[in-house]
Amino acid sequence: MQERLQELQVEAIAKVEAASNLKELNDIRVAYLGKKGPITEVLRGMGKLSAEERPKIGALANEVREAIAQKIEEKQIAMEEAAVQEKLAAEKIDVTLPGRPIKVGNHHPLTKVIEEIEDLFIGMGYQVAEGPEVEKDYYNFEALNLPKGHPARDMQDSFYITEEILLRTHTSPVQARTMEKHEGKGPVKIICPGKVYRRDHDDATHSHQFTQIEGLVIDENIRMSDLKGTLEVFAKRMFGEDREIRLRPSFFPFTEPSVEMDISCKMCGGHGCNVCKGTGWIEILGAGMVHPNVLEMAGFDSNKYSGFAFGMGPERIAMLKYGIDDIRHFYTNDIRFLKQFSRHEG
Ligand code: FA5
């Protein structure tokens, strides 16, 4: 029995040394030290031994069991250590490699154009004012010489929330609010950028939600020529000296006289296409001299003060500037479209 145990030890240790992975090692553990293993079997047969031999064989069996278990453990630690070393070697970092470029986002083309327009007017001494998108009927219409039932309200089909509250249809209510705050004292020189909403049918140049930038100047002796000069400077800086501009007589209840400004269509060079609806021109803003009623309603003495105002559509301006053929590109967020306005690659 003694010999059998010693043979088992030699045999098991040789197998442990030859094992090449943790699974093999575990199989050896089960085979030699498990309940059905040969050592347990030897111990079971001890009943047949004499009383003197029994403790000796028992002690030897325990020694053999421990020797095998220890060898297995040593081998396991060595294997785990080797695995860690192998992993570390595989994950070695070459610190001399150049870094991967980080993808940087870019501003939306519309944001860029709005900021460019803001910078241009701030450079001419204007301040930026803001107002609510959910607006009172009073500021959106009444304070702008558009009392309830006025037919010109139909020019801007509106989203009403209650009878007195609506989504603003233009940025002009910000001029009404600003004038009211000034309590009849000039001068006022502001631009008001923001989102506006109309029940317009979406097409290449119309969106039901779009942006506007309002401008308002009030002081003594402000004339139509000041408005014309300002719009000319704006248009030339925005589109370049070679683009043509035209002012057409128009009508807004809050300005008198009123004009609309068109820019020659970049898409067709002025010959007519679907963007300019065959006319060769694209309307970008409405403007005029502030109506005396509007000045008086806000508390300004219209004999002393006069002013001009304009309201432009940055989408249309961006379309003309970058040659974009459909206003819906701004709102469908196609990454291929947006990436074209990136200064970065990728
Ligand atoms: C107005 O909204 C006036 N409040 C502008 C104004 C301000 C006139 C101050 C006089 C004094 P109008 O409805 O024309 O006007 O709109 C102004 C500009 O917004 C248009 O020239 C156009 O560039 C843009 N716009 C109008 N409707 C849409 C639309 N559905 N989608 C995109 N842009 C539009």
- Write down the domain spans for the chain: 2-90, 109-338
Ligand 1 interacting residues, C-beta cut-off 6 A? 156, 170, 172, 198, 200, 206-207, 210, 212, 214, 252, 255, 283-288, 309-313, 315-316, 327
Q: What b-and-e string marks burial along 165-184, b requiring 16 or more CB atoms within 10 Å of the CB?
A: ebbbbbbbbbbbbbbeebee
Distance between CA atoms of residues 254 and 307, nearest Å: 11
Cα angle 158-159-161, degrees, rounded to a multiple of 5: 130
Q: Under a CB-based contact definition with an 8 Å cutoff, are residues 288 and 309 in contact?
A: yes
167 pLDDT above the threshold of 70: yes
pTM: 0.72
Beta bridge partners of 190: 127, 216
**32-58 confidence digits (pLDDT tens):** 888 888 888 877 888 888 888 888 888
**277-335 confidence digits (pLDDT tens):** 899 898 889 999 999 999 999 999 999 999 999 999 999 999 888 889 899 999 998 99
Distance between CA atoms of residues 175 and 142, nearest Å: 13
How many angstroms does the Cα of residue 314 sit away from the middle of ligand 1?
10
344 pLDDT above the threshold of 80: no
Question: Region 260-288: what's the mean pLDDT?
Answer: 87
302 vs 89: which has the higher pLDDT: 302
Q: Which amino acid is at 325?
A: D
- Pull the structure tokens for residue 6: 């010693």
What CATH number was assigned to the domain covering residues 109-338? 3.30.930.10
